[in-house]
Amino acid sequence: MLALILATSAVEALGATFNYSQPDIDSGKALQDLSRIAKENALKRLSDSSSGCTGENVRVREERIAYTKAVECLIETPDVYQNISGAKSMFDSFGLLHYYQTPYIHNSAYFLLWHRAFVWIFEEKLRTVCGYTGPFPYWEWGLDAGGVEQSPLFDGSPTSMGGNGEKVNRSQGLFPGGTGGGCVKEGPFSNYIVNLGPLTASDPLAHNPRCLKRDLNTEICRSSASLKNTTEVMLESPNIELFQANLQGDFRYPESRKWGLSVHGGGHFIVAGDPGGDFYFSNIAGTITMMNRPPSRNGTLDDVMDLEPLGGAYTLGEMLDTVGGSPFCFVYE
């Protein structure tokens, strides 16, 4: 899911001309090269940084085992929304923040930069509240398009994010179901209690304790979030407006219909299960909400995003650079 932010870094390549072969696009070789270019461009800007970001303190985003322990710490930390009965932890508070702002942060100018700030604030809480010292991980979905169930992220081992949900037989939905659907029984987060949701409940913010569910879906990963899809979205989006539309699957733009559920939607539905397991899944509702509202004006660099009570208020301009001129000091590996 966090590979969305890797794509954000690569947006610097928009407008440039690249001549990758189709086999290189399909295999991920082109994406690897785009990621290298994005990192090099970020590091070149370090000398111009005004925020204290240097080559010595810049964080490199790689996966580390300690991350799961830090998340478990947030799950044990009290929530910051005192008036919501269903929220029991700071982890729940992040879901609530996303839930409340969903109507404004999808299919809009806020989409990429709001989520960049959101993930950064989450990382800062891992560090300041839970003492986490490692880099922040992201998931490149396309690496698992050959079989999500075999991914080291979901194999149920102590170093994973927990296993698949137990197999559940159910009727066909809008698209083919995955290989699980029931409660997660193996690995980290197998004992995690989901407190909020689902969104279809009469009161989605009420306390509704239940197990964490997952329904890993390789077919969705292959058809919507492959290395090929991620790379083509970057290469075939001549401006930021179309890049965001193609990334989100905004069907108001005919071009975006090429990539199925989109790499963004596909990233969510690869894991599927109970949306309350990670209230972040509520962003799917944002697409429907925004498509039923009149178009808003174009965003500007001075527009303000308010991430209280977990974070502060930031302008879009402050969120643009990950190594200077903003609170950030990181690159992707």
What is 169-217 written as a DSSP string? -----SS---S-EEEE-SSTTTTPEE-S--TTSSSTTS---EE-B----
DSSP 296: P
Residue 248 is predicted with a pLDDT of 87
Residue 41 is predicted with a pLDDT of 82
In a domain, 52, yes or no: no
In a domain, 293, yes or no: yes
Residues 6+ away with beta carbon under 8 Å from 299:
108, 109, 110, 316
Confirm if 77 and 89 have CB atoms less than 8 A apart.
yes
Given pLDDT bands bounded at 50, 70 and 90, which one contains residue 319?
confident
pTM: 0.80
Domain extent at residue 207: 3-13+65-322
In a domain, 22, yes or no: no
- Tens digits of per-residue pLDDT, 209-231? 999 999 999 999 999 889 998 88
In a domain, 47, yes or no: no
Confirm if 249 and 258 have CB atoms less than 8 A apart.
no
Region 126-155: mean pLDDT is: 90
In a domain, 171, yes or no: yes
In a domain, 111, yes or no: yes
In a domain, 255, yes or no: yes
In a domain, 156, yes or no: yes
Confirm if 230 and 3 have CB atoms less than 8 A apart.
yes
Domain count, the chain: 1
Residue 73 is predicted with a pLDDT of 96
Q: What is the CATH number of the domain that holds 277?
A: 1.10.1280.10
